[in-house]
Structure 1
Amino acid sequence: MLGSIPDLLRLVAVPVFGWAAYRDVKTRRVPNRTWTPLAALAVVLLLWDAYTVWTGPTAVGQRLFLIRVAISLGFVIPLSYGFWLIGGFGGADAKAFMLVAVLFPVYPVYYLPTVALPLQQSAIGVFSLTILSNTVLAGVVYPLAVAAGNLARGRFSLAMFIGRPVSVSAVTEEYGRLLESPDGFDRGGLDLDALRMYLQWRGCSLADIRADPDRHRLPTSLPRVPNDPGDGSLATDGGDPVADDVNGTGGRGDDASSQAVTDDTDAVDDPWGAERFLDDIDHSAYGTSPAQLRDGLDVLVEQDEVWISPGIPFLVPMFAGLVVSLTYGDVLFSLLQAVGLA
């Protein structure tokens, strides 16, 4: 037999995580319903394993199982939640790691004709920690790959390890954040989801703003009845791209409902209407401040090309970490063994 029934059923997670990683790359959105069936399966399999161990012959095996499950549930889940709270993880990333903690608390075993997988187990024996460490190692490769790509194309900048240049006309078709402000390189630039929300709210496109930045900078150019800003995604789950509305095809638009600009010399207390936008929406625009929105718009109307950080679609290294964990095992533990630290 290739493995126990619970361990074989756990392999269902591989294609699901693969699809979620693909979805994360394409839309940076993973529907909540993705995790529900796996969560139910994880609980059932955990109870199944607990019953098998509890009715087993050795008390040592029972204690080891309970300790490893306690570490997986008591450490990985709070860690994932904590990273989500401070903004280190997105919602889908946190849910995925919490799911891993329940689905893979201990090492599974898969028997092939000449070998058993995973090849390398850690001393502690908590498989969710192995997946976590392999995910982190896979994530480290990302900035190196970005830098290599920029070097190959002759792009040199302070942002070359974390970003790439794009045409301003294509910014609204990208995910990530600006790496520029009016003062130069800035890792805390405008979130592009927030930019799409702002454009959707105004009912105009970035091209409209670039065509007449002086007018759009005035608060009096804002629409009397703004649009629903949405969530800033390029495509909704099963729906039409939000970009259609961003490009002015689905909103009320500046020309249709904006207040007349009667005096271009009026004092601009709220350039671009940034404060009004953030006050008007009923949720956060990904932590964007009025200053970040203003600085980002100032850059976008002045430059033809900007550096952006696409960010790491974290489910991609997580999927890689899961596959490596199920086949090779704990890479970090092997590295520590190689240098005599484990």
Structure 2
Amino acid sequence: MFTSSLGIASGPDLLRLLAVPVFAWAAYRDVRTRRVPNRTWLPLVAAGVLALAWDLLSFGSSGVGLEFLVRTVVSLGFVAPLGYVFWRIGGFGGADAKAIITLAVVFPVYPAYELLGGTYPVYAAPLGVFSFTILSNAVLAGLVYPLVLAVRNLPRAELTPAMFVGRPVRLEDVPREYGRLLESPEGFTRRGLDLDALRMYLRWRGIDFTDLRNDPDRYRGSIPADPNTPGDGSIDDGDDASGTDSPPVEPIEGDPWAADAFLADHAAYGTTPAELRAGLSVVSDSGRGSVWITPGIPFIFPILAGLLAALTFGDLLFWVLSTAGL
């Protein structure tokens, strides 16, 4: 391909670097709010399509390379659908899936950057599909995180499976956290209550977390007469409640905490009535001072790390396997 006037990279590869600030902003936004607007990805997808068209035109009369076409087809036909499939089965959030699909469009093949006498990325995998390299790097970065959590939790001298996937927080701080409970009344669980769903429930009832903690029996045995709109469960600058606590009436038969009534009208991120009841029992337990939760780190953060590692070092998995003689 043609290099730019700066002698650093081809025009399409320079255009692809727009992904770095966009993904950095998306990771920051996702960590802080767990919400990444859809409009984040559309301009980057457009830039990727433009870069791909530019690449095709830059081949000129020499013809389009077969390897380039094959790698592009693999990126668009395998990596992009992979993000969608993992979202459908619950492995990724919606923003994570869109990020992977975007990467498949922006980085179908390895870019090349000349800087400080070196060429980057340094290590290219034989497959040559750069979006797959980014994804494999992201998975490796995600695998490191449980070890970091375990090391941080060791000084607390609590040996529990939760120490590899979460951290303890004071119960009064739960409404200001993102993530998922790692505890149920029976003990450790990976399917604890989503804290977004907890905030939605509180707003639906028109109460704050202190109300729930101070008088759990009232809310375990009643249903609100005039429920409020629960919102999307995001953390805002106001109280947990988005309305006023209406006088409770008799509960629906066999519906503790009015979980069925709440979830009949609000999906709450796939929460089941059993998960909601178990989570409410945990956070309303007066004998608890703290609870284990997942850190709630979205996968976009490891994707950003994988992207930066891929642009500089290259394919970490390929390097590890090559170093080990595999």
Regarding TM over 0.5, the answer is yes
Q: Is the 8 A contact 2:75 2:105 kept in 1?
A: yes
Query: How much does 1:269 deviate?
Result: 1.8
The answer for the alignment partner of 1:244 in structure 2 is 238
The answer for the alignment partner of 2:229 in structure 1 is 228
Supply the distance in 2 between the matched residues of 1:4 and 1:76 (Cα, whole angstroms): 24
1:109 corresponds to which of 79, 89, 112: 112
**Partner SS state of residue 284, structure 2:** helix
Distance 1:267 1:109, change over 3 A: closer
Query: How much does 1:153 deviate?
Result: 3.5
Q: Is the 8 A contact 2:224 2:249 kept in 1?
A: no
1:22 corresponds to which of 21, 28, 49: 28
Give % identity. Answer: 57
Query: How much does 1:268 deviate?
Result: 5.2
1:335 corresponds to which of 312, 320, 323: 320
Q: Is the 8 A contact 1:162 1:311 kept in 2?
A: no
**Partner SS state of residue 177, structure 1:** coil
Query: How much does 1:134 deviate?
Result: 0.6
**Partner SS state of residue 176, structure 1:** coil
The answer for the alignment partner of 1:140 in structure 2 is 143
Query: How much does 1:336 deviate?
Result: 1.1
| Counterpart residue type for residue 25 of structure 2 | W
Decide which moves more: 312-321 or 96-105: 312-321
The answer for the alignment partner of 2:4 in structure 1 is none
Supply the distance in 2 between the matched residues of 1:205 and 1:56 (Cα, whole angstroms): 68
| Counterpart residue type for residue 226 of structure 1 | P
Supply the distance in 1 between the matched residues of 2:167 and 2:106 (Cα, whole angstroms): 37
| Counterpart residue type for residue 230 of structure 1 | G
The answer for the alignment partner of 2:248 in structure 1 is 259
Query: How much does 1:56 deviate?
Result: 4.5
Q: Is the 8 A contact 1:200 1:245 kept in 2?
A: no
With the length of structure 2 as denominator, give the TM-score of the two structures. 0.94
Query: How much does 1:286 deviate?
Result: 1.2
- Deviation string 1:110-135 (CA, Å, 9 cap, x unpaired) is 11241111111111111111101111
The answer for the alignment partner of 1:69 in structure 2 is 72
Query: How much does 1:52 deviate?
Result: 1.9
Query: How much does 1:19 deviate?
Result: 1.0
| Counterpart residue type for residue 329 of structure 1 | G
| Counterpart residue type for residue 318 of structure 2 | F
Q: Is the 8 A contact 2:213 2:284 kept in 1?
A: yes
| Counterpart residue type for residue 44 of structure 2 | L
The answer for the alignment partner of 1:304 in structure 2 is 289
Supply the distance in 2 between the matched residues of 1:175 and 1:107 (Cα, whole angstroms): 36
Q: Is the 8 A contact 1:203 1:245 kept in 2?
A: no
- Deviation string 1:289-317 (CA, Å, 9 cap, x unpaired) is 11110111111111221111123321111
Query: How much does 1:47 deviate?
Result: 1.2
Supply the distance in 2 between the matched residues of 1:160 and 1:81 (Cα, whole angstroms): 30
What are the equivalent positions in structure 2 for 1:277-288 lying under 5 Å apart? 277-281=262-266, 284-288=267-271
What are the equivalent positions in structure 2 for 1:1-342 lying under 5 Å apart? 1-53=7-59, 55-57=60-62, 62-219=65-222, 222-234=223-235, 241=236, 244-246=238-240, 248=241, 250-251=242-243, 253-254=244-245, 257-260=246-249, 269-281=254-266, 284-302=267-285, 303-341=288-326
With the length of structure 1 as denominator, give the TM-score of the two structures. 0.89
Q: Which runs of 5+ in 2 are unaligned?
A: 1-6
Q: Is the 8 A contact 2:252 2:258 kept in 1?
A: no
Q: Is the 8 A contact 1:142 1:312 kept in 2?
A: no
| Counterpart residue type for residue 292 of structure 1 | E
Supply the distance in 2 between the matched residues of 1:47 and 1:325 (Cα, whole angstroms): 23
Supply the distance in 1 between the matched residues of 2:188 and 2:116 (Cα, whole angstroms): 55
Query: How much does 1:224 deviate?
Result: 2.2
| Counterpart residue type for residue 238 of structure 2 | D
Supply the distance in 1 between the matched residues of 2:16 and 2:189 (Cα, whole angstroms): 43
Q: Is the 8 A contact 1:197 1:231 kept in 2?
A: yes
Q: Is the 8 A contact 2:153 2:167 kept in 1?
A: yes
- Deviation string 1:179-209 (CA, Å, 9 cap, x unpaired) is 1111111111111110011011111012101
